[in-house]
């Protein structure tokens, strides 16, 4: 049943890397959105001055 | 508003996830049949459970939206479903890796658990195109809520139907039967991992809601500022042009 039991470590590493990558990509997208909000806020406060 | 308690939640998430990782690799015993490959279970199953719960939560929040008509419930429902889709992608990929490692195939089409999860995932993939094909915000919220409720009700029905199916090669490690139950160390590790992934979901949900809320408030402010400028054209000119990107 276990086809690749001997080299199982690389599969475990791949699964956890996928999990980590997903979180990192999500956080990066959120960081971009927050940076855009900050830029817009700067524009608004400059307009207000 | 949504940012309240975010720091404490983020710290709790980081602590529990780190603890879970330590437990997975240093506390939980190696499974006799699968060996180290079984460690994928601690990331794959929590991702799948949290994704399915997130879909159901999206439906419950949508009920609240339909009952009150408030936009905030629609936004909460949308973010829950959006995040659940991300977690579902993680569950599908990690599950595929586990299948390849233990069965020798990336995907098994005659396994009800896998196919039913894929059906739920594809169903929710229709949510975003449906939502953004409607321009009127009120209609968008209403139609998206109806979809979220119908699809959210489908998730537990689908889950029960799969449990009743007889043919399966997918392990039933969380069943109450003695041959399928987990040893205590594995069960504790699994529960900590599940808590960590659930906390991660809650943290990201709050982060995205905070960002969306800030963005909406900003748009409202800009509109108000523009309206004030139009109302008083003789006022002092702004020193710099509007540099909206």
Comparison of pLDDT for B227 and A25, the residue scoring more: A25
pTM strictly above 0.80: yes
pLDDT of residue B35: 84
| Whether A44 and B43 lie within 8 Å, measured CB to CB | no
Whether the Cβ atoms of residue B83 and residue B57 lie closer than 8 Å to each other? no
Listed in sequence order, the residues at least 6 apart from B40 whose beta carbon sits closer than 8 Å to its beta carbon are A11, A12, A15, B94, B97, B98, B101
φ/ψ of B35, rounded to 5, equals: 70, -140
Structural domain includes residue A36: yes
- Tell me the mean pLDDT in the region A34-46: 86
Q: How far apart are the CA of B162 and the nearest CA of chain A, in angstroms?
A: 23
Inter-chain touch A15–B211, beta carbons under 8 Å: no
Phi (first) and psi of residue B204, to 5 degrees: -65, -35
As for how many domains chain A has, the answer is 1
Chain B: nearest CA to A21, how far in angstroms?
10
Ranges of chain B with pLDDT below 50? 177-178, 238-245
Asked whether residue A9 is assigned to any structural domain, the reply reads no
Question: Residue A49: inside a domain, yes or no?
Answer: yes
**CA B55 to chain centroid:** 7
What is the extent of the structural domain holding A29?
23-49
Is any Cβ of chain A less than 8 angstroms from the Cβ of B102? yes
A8 touches chain B (CB under 8 A): yes
Residue A1 has pLDDT above 70, yes or no: no
Q: Which of A3, A8, A36 sits opposite B104 (nearest CB)?
A: A3
Query: Of B12, B38, B6, which is closest to residue B198 (Cα–Cα)?
Result: B12
Kindly determine whether residue A1 and residue B103, on different chains, have CB atoms separated by under 8 Å: yes
Among B30, B89, B94, most A C-beta atoms within 10 A, so best to mutate, is B94
| Residue carrying the six token digits 């094909």 | B133
Confidence of residue A8 (pLDDT cuts 50, 70, 90): confident
């Amino acid at each position: 049943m276990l086809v690749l039991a001997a080299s199982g470590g690389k599969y475990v590493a791949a699964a956890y890397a996928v999990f980590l990558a997903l979180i990192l990509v999500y956080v990066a997208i959120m960081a971009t959105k927050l940076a855009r909000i900050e830029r817009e806020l700067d524009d608004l406060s400059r307009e207000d001055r | 508003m949504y940012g309240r308690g975010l720091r404490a939640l983020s710290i709790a998430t980081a602590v529990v996830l780190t603890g879970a990782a330590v437990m997975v690799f240093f506390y939980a015993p190696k499974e006799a049949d699968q060996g180290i490959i079984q460690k994928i279970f601690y990331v794959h199953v929590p991702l799948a459970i949290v994704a399915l719960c997130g879909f159901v939560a999206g439906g419950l929040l949508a009920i609240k939206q339909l009952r009150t008509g408030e936009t905030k419930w629609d936004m909460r429902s949308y973010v829950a479903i959006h995040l659940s889709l991300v977690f579902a992608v993680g569950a599908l990929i990690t599950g595929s890796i586990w299948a390849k490692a233990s069965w020798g195939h990336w995907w098994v089409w005659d396994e009800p658990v896998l196919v039913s999860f894929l059906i739920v995932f594809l169903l929710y993939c229709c949510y975003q195109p449906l939502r953004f094909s409607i321009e009127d915000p009120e209609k968008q919220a209403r139609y998206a809520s109806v979809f979220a409720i119908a699809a959210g009700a489908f998730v537990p029905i689908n889950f029960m139907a799969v449990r009743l199916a007889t043919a399966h090669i997918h392990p039933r490690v969380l069943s109450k039967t003695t041959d399928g139950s987990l040893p205590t160390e594995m069960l504790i590790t699994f529960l900590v991992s599940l808590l960590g992934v659930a906390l991660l979901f809650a943290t990201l949900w709050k982060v995205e809601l905070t960002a969306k809320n800030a963005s909406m408030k900003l748009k409202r402010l800009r509109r108000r500022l523009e309206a004030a400028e139009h109302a008083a054209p003789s006022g002092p000119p702004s020193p710099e042009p509007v540099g909206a990107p």
